[in-house]
Amino acid sequence: MRSLNVRKMMSGLLPAGSKISRSTVGYRSFVTAPTWPLRESEREKEADEATKRAREAAQSLKEGAKQVREASDYVRNAASSTASTVTKMVNRVTEKVCETADAIKESVKEPVQNAVSNAVAKTAAKMEDKVAEKIRDRVIGKAEEHGRQGHSKAN
Using one digit for the tens of pLDDT, what is the confidence trace for 112-125?
A: 888 888 888 899 88
How far, in Å, CA of 89 to CA of 95, rounded? Answer: 10
Amino acid making up residue 36: W
Using one digit for the tens of pLDDT, what is the confidence trace for 76-134?
A: 999 999 999 999 999 999 999 999 999 888 888 888 888 888 888 899 888 888 888 88
Q: Are the C-beta atoms of residues 7 and 20 closer than 8 Å to each other?
A: yes
What pTM did the predictor assign?
0.38
Q: What is the DSSP letter of 19?
A: E
Most confident of 21-30, 57-66, 108-117: 57-66
List the chain domain ranges.
Answer: 1-33, 35-124
**126 to 68, 129, 136, 140: CA distances (angstroms):** 83, 5, 15, 21
